[in-house]
Amino acid sequence: MVDGVTGKAEGGVLVLAATPIGRPDDAPPRLAVELAAADVIAAEDTRRLNRLCSDLDITLSGRVVSYFEGNEHARTPALLEALEAGQRVVLVTDAGMPSVSDPGYRIVAAAVAADIRVTSVPGPSAVLTALAVSGLPVDRFCFEGFLPRKAGERARRLTELADERRTMVFFEAPHRTEAALAAMAQVWGEGRAGAVCRELTKTHEEVRRGGLGALAAWAADGVRGEVTIVVSGAPHAPAVATDADSLRAAVAEREDQGMSRKEAIVEVARLAGIPKREVYQAVHVS
C-alpha cells in the first residue's frame, strides 16, 4: 500500500504515466508529481524526457534509465528487481500511454506475475483523440496498432478485418501512409469512409476526412508527422443465398462491377458463409 504519491510504500509500485502527444501543457498535473517522486524513471527516450521536464519545470531526483523496444527485454529484470525492493518505478514513453503500441507490456506482465501493484497516470491518447475528431461512429471501436510493413502481410491483415463492424484505429509511419491507405482502399473499397489525423494537438494539426481512395490520392503527395488513421467499420452486407442460381448471379454481378472471377468467388463465399469450392462449383459446373 502507498500513503499518497510521495508517501512510503510497503511494496514497489509501477506507474504507467501518460505524456503529452503534442503540447507540453496538455500533461496531466499528476505527471509532474509522479516524476519528481519516482525512485526510478524508465523512459523510451531520455532526451525527450529531459525536454519535457524542462518544459514543465520538473526536477528529477530518481535514477533515469532508457527503456525502449531495443532493450525492453534486457532491462525488464532490473526494473522488476527495483519494484521487488519496494521502489516506485515510473514508466514514460515518447507520447501517450505506455504499452499502447509502445514499450511497457513486458514490465507490466512481469509486475502482475510478481503480485506488484500497477497503476497509471491517465492522460493524452492519440487513439481516443483521433477517434473523437474523426467524425466516424464511436459507439464501438477497436485499436489495431501498426499494420505489417510488407505488402503481402498487410493485405492479409486487412482481409482478416474485412468483416469488422467496429470503427478501426491504426497508427502508421508517415512514409507508409499512402501505401496503407491504398491497400485499405483495394481490400475494403475506395468509398469506405476514413480520416487521417496528423500531428494531433500540435501546431500543424490536420484531420483529412473522406473515402479511402481519395485519402490515398491525397497522401501520394507525401505526409509528415505523427499519423493516426481511423476507418469506419464494414457495412452490413446483405446475405447471399446458397443455392446454385443465387451464387452464380452474385458472382456475375461482381464481375460486372470489375472484380476478377477469383475475387468475386472469394467475396461471395465469405458473404454466404460457405467454402469457396462450393461457389466455384456453382459457377463452373452446369
Q: Which domains does the chain have, with CATH numbers?
A: 13-124 (3.40.1010.10), 127-231 (3.30.950.10), 244-284 (no CATH)
Whether the pLDDT of residue 54 is over 70: the answer is yes
Residues 6+ apart with CB under 8 A from 203: none
Q: Given pLDDT bands bounded at 50, 70 and 90, which one contains residue 237?
A: low
Confidence of residue 1 (pLDDT cuts 50, 70, 90): very low
Mean pLDDT of 227-244: 84
Q: What is the pLDDT of residues 108-117, one digit of tens each?
A: 999 999 999 9
**Block residue for cell numbers 500540435:** 202
Q: Are 119 and 15 in contact (CB under 8 A)?
A: yes
pLDDT given at position 238: 58
pLDDT in tens, 190-225: 888 999 999 999 999 999 999 999 999 999 999 999
Residue 4 pLDDT > 80, yes or no? no
Judge whether residue 244 has pLDDT over 80. Answer: yes
Cα–Cα distance measured from residue 210 to residue 192, given in angstroms and rounded to the nearest whole number: 8
Average pLDDT, the chain: 91
Strand partners, 120: 16
Proportion of the chain above pLDDT 90, given as a percent: 77
Residue 8 has pLDDT above 60, yes or no: no
Q: State the cell numbers at 82.
A: 527495483
User: Sign (positive/negative) of CA torsion 65, 69, 71, 74?
Assistant: positive
Q: What is the value of pTM for the model shown?
A: 0.77
Asked if 172 contacts 222 with a C-beta cutoff of 8 angstroms, the reply is no
